[in-house]
């Protein structure tokens, strides 16, 4: 889990979520905006998981992967992670590995 001060506040959400740096996978879409500090947000809609328990479990899994990624990569910026439908049926290992791959791919220079 990441600290509350490292999450993106609601009033800044649109600013960070409309970046051009995006990576898409089977279960995620990751939007990256370069910045001076690490910020993060995870979006899990009711189309992905009807129950709040399931949405929170998916959100915690993504926040944990994001926190471990920040510990290994020196890149600063804001990350908005959107879950796609079907993610609830995937295993936790598959979700973590795909998110790690997308985070690594999005920060590489083109």
The DSSP bridge partners found for residue 28 are 83
Residue 85 burial (10 A CB sphere; 0-12, 13-18, 19+): exposed
Confidence of residue 109 (pLDDT cuts 50, 70, 90): low
pTM for the model stands at 0.90
CATH of domain 4-105: 3.30.230.10
User: Across the chain, what does the average pLDDT equal?
Assistant: 90
Pairing of strands 39-43, 77-83: parallel
pLDDT digits (tens, 9 = 90+) for 4-53: 888 988 888 888 888 788 999 999 999 998 888 889 999 999 999 999 99
Q: Please say if the pLDDT value at position 54 is more than 90.
A: yes
- What is the reported pLDDT for 63? 94
């Amino acid at each position: 889990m990441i600290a509350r001060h490292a999450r993106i506040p609601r009033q800044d959400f649109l600013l960070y979520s409309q970046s051009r740096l995006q990576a898409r996978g089977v279960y995620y879409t990751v939007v990256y905006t370069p910045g001076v500090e690490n910020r993060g947000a995870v979006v899990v809609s009711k189309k992905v998981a009807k129950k709040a328990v399931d949405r929170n479990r998916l959100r915690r899994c993504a926040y944990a992967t994001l926190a471990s990624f920040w510990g290994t990569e020196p890149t600063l910026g804001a990350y908005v992670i959107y879950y796609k439908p079907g993610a609830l049926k995937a295993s936790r290992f598959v979700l973590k590995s795909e998110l790690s791959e997308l985070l690594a791919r999005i920060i590489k220079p083109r």
